[in-house]
Amino acid sequence: MNKKKQDHGANPIDARDTNQYQGEYVASLVEKWDELIDWEARAKSEGEFFIQTLKDRGVKRVLDVATGTGFHSVQLKKAGFNVVSADGNPNMLAKAFENGRKQGVTLQVVQTDWRWLSRDITNRFDAIICLGNSFTHLFTEKDRRKALAEFYSVLNEDGILMLDQRNYDNILDNGFSTKHTFYYCGDGVKAEPEHIDEGLTRFRYEFNDKSVYHLNMFPLRKAYVHRLMREVGFQELTSYGDFLETYPDEDHPDFFIHLADKKYVADAQQFIKVPKENADEKGK
Ligand SMILES: C[S@@+](CC[C@H](N)C(=O)[O-])C[C@H]1O[C@@H](n2cnc3c(N)ncnc32)[C@H](O)[C@@H]1O
């Protein structure tokens, strides 16, 4: 798992496997990840969006399932939330822990793959965050359903899932363009797709020192993600475009952030009272 170099095989366009995130986030890329996301610039662009949304919902306990190098876990801990930081990749978790320590925060880290999350995490949470375009690493519908079902299962009855994704509809339908202001904020790091089809976007990342890395990702269409979320049981869905609840479609936001509610509200008619005479009959 702890390979030194990325290896997408002889034909990288064929590398479409859910497990490949392990070989993509090699130690050397993890070391560079913070150059790509630039914590300070990212904190500025996200503002209080996640913290405020979680506070508004009365959230206390958060599970960060895609901790990466720890950006959101550290922010949320500093803001007073009780946070558990999970990720499947050990290089990422080690970096997150180190980043936390540098900022005076001790992260509670758990290495687990989303598909078996409830095997490793038995507590319940008010919110799960899966941010930084992470869900895109799952390459089969079976894996996506299983991961969402696992997220659903470790949420409290009225818990919420916040999951974001690139605007792949725009990439697939109109080609790639980015305002480059929201997520990957690092200056001088070039991030662009090298290949796009309905089953794969292969992104190329070139860093200041000219080193090059790739991530193969599944291009999630927004309506498809909504459908999966509903089908595993999430009830209410709200999507934000680049942190705004209302966004003109022609603006083509770079990112969508989906907020999915677990809380089940039964149909009103289930609460229609049984007429008294029938109730008396039943009681006999
Ligand atoms: C693009 S990084 C995002 C990290 C962080 N959330 C951020 O915004 O900077 C995606 C993260 O998801 C993790 N990941 C991908 N697939 C996973 C899986 N099946 N189970 C657990 N973690 C996974 C990777 O190890 C990686 O740390």
Looking at residue 231, its pLDDT comes to 97
Distance CA 1, CA 113 (A): 13
Instruction: Identify the segments of the chain with pLDDT beneath 70.
Output: 1-3, 178-188, 245-251, 268-284
Q: In the structure encoding, which two tokens stand for residue 140, read together? A: 């089969």
**Interval between CA 284 and ligand 1 midpoint (Å):** 59
Residue 165 domain-assigned (yes or no)? yes
| pTM exceeds cut of 0.85 | yes
What's the CA angle centered on 154, arms 102 and 2, to 5 degrees?
Answer: 50
**Count: domains in the chain:** 1
For ligand 1, which residues put their CB under 6 angstroms from it?
A: 21, 25, 37, 66, 68, 71, 87-89, 92, 113-114, 131-134, 137
CA of 89 to the centre of ligand 1 (A): 7
Range of the domain at 44: 18-283
10, part of any domain: no
CA distance 232 to 153: 10
pLDDT of residue 175: 82
Ligand 1, atom 20: closest residue by C-alpha: 113
In a domain, 11, yes or no: no
Q: Which of 86-114 are b and which e, b meaning 16 or more Cβ less than 10 Å from the residue's Cβ?
A: bbbbbbbbbbbbebbeeeebebebbebbb
| Confidence at residue 88, expressed as pLDDT on a 0 to 100 scale | 98
Percent of the chain with pLDDT over 70: 86
- Residue at 1 is within a domain: no
Distance of CA 36 to the CA centre of its chain: 17
Report if residue 5 sits inside a domain: no
Strand 190-197 vs strand 125-130: parallel, antiparallel, or unpaired? unpaired
Residue at token pair 């979680």? 54
Is 6 inside a domain boundary? no
Q: pLDDT for 12-22, tens place per residue?
A: 998 999 999 99
Report CA(87)–ligand 1 centroid distance (Å): 6
pLDDT digits (tens, 9 = 90+) for 220-267: 999 999 999 999 999 999 999 887 766 666 668 888 999 999 999 887
Q: Which of 109, 137, 216 to mutate to test the pocket of ligand 1 (most atoms within 8 A of CB)?
A: 137
Q: For position 69, which CATH number holds?
A: 3.40.50.150
Q: Is residue 145 part of a domain?
A: yes
